[in-house]
Amino acid sequence: MTSWPYWARPAAPYSTAQPELMSSEPQVRVFPSTEELFRAAAETFCRIGSEAIRQRERFTVALSGGSTPRSLHQQLATTFSSQLPWDQVFFFWGDERHVPPDFPESNFRMAKETLLSKFPVPADHVLRMPGELPDANQAAGLYEQTLREFFHLAPGQFPRFDFVLLGIGGDGHTASLFPGTKALEEKQHLVAGNWVEQHSTWRITVTYPVLNNAANVMFLVEGSGKAGIVSKALKDPSANLPCQRVRPENGNLMWYMDQTAGAGL
């Protein structure tokens, strides 16, 4: 019997049960194939989005970068394209590289190419991080202002995204919260410029208070290359990985993966 840390108890291997909305326990779901993984992730995204729109007439999403989201975007843009009123979705980012929006490494560019260009999303519903600014800290400050204005935040308040999509890197980073970087300790600001020594680059990232104030957070993980870090993240609380500090105080935490990524569980 696997000894799960209290916060990573699985719903059930190959669980077919639909995660409860606002469940207090993290949901770990392992799917037999990548096809089933991304279909289930799209289905959950749309179910949460429909509920948010039913309740508040809008769905606020923080997208992730990297390559894994491409397959989710592909599902949303095809099989699930009619499942949401896309003009009521507001797109934000959990992190961005310190580059202009048309650079190949841009998380915004990846989302635009694979998702946002597929729907008539109003321009003012796409609120990207200004990675083109020479000073990453200035970019972070501007984005923080954008969030404060959009969510009408009073000082000391944090935005509550309906859905935050996250990936996990081989070192256990998530968003642009990398091991040993300054942004890991940020408790006041919503967004931080973050120097990542291991990649000799600046990043812009939301901070843990934002991630942990979300209504739904989904880690989406694919491939055997992630099996080791997923096993460590979900079974070794002493690993002290950045991804392990994502624990929504009053929201759903979901780990969705294919069985190769979940091989170590």
Question: What is the contact surface with ligand 6PG in residues (CB under 6 A)?
Answer: 64-68, 95, 107, 167-169, 173-176
Least Å distance between CB 246 and ligand 6PG? 11
**Minimum CB distance to ligand 6PG smaller for 85 or for 179:** 179
Cβ neighbours of residue 10 under 8 Å, at least 6 residues apart?
2, 4, 27, 28, 29, 30, 265
**Minimum CB distance to ligand 6PG smaller for 71 or for 252:** 71
**225-264: burial string, b at 16+ Cβ within 10 Å, e else:** ebbebbbbbbeeeeeebbbbebebeebbbbbbbbbbbbee
Least Å distance between CB 249 and ligand 6PG? 21
**Minimum CB distance to ligand 6PG smaller for 34 or for 88:** 34
83-86 own/partner pairs: CB under 8 Å, 24+ apart = 83/42, 83/46, 83/49, 83/50, 84/46, 84/49, 84/50, 84/53, 84/59, 85/53, 86/119, 86/120, 86/121
Least Å distance between CB 62 and ligand 6PG? 10
Least Å distance between CB 167 and ligand 6PG? 2
**Minimum CB distance to ligand 6PG smaller for 27 or for 176:** 176
**Minimum CB distance to ligand 6PG smaller for 65 or for 141:** 65
Least Å distance between CB 2 and ligand 6PG? 24
Q: Tokens 């099996």 belong to which residue?
A: 227
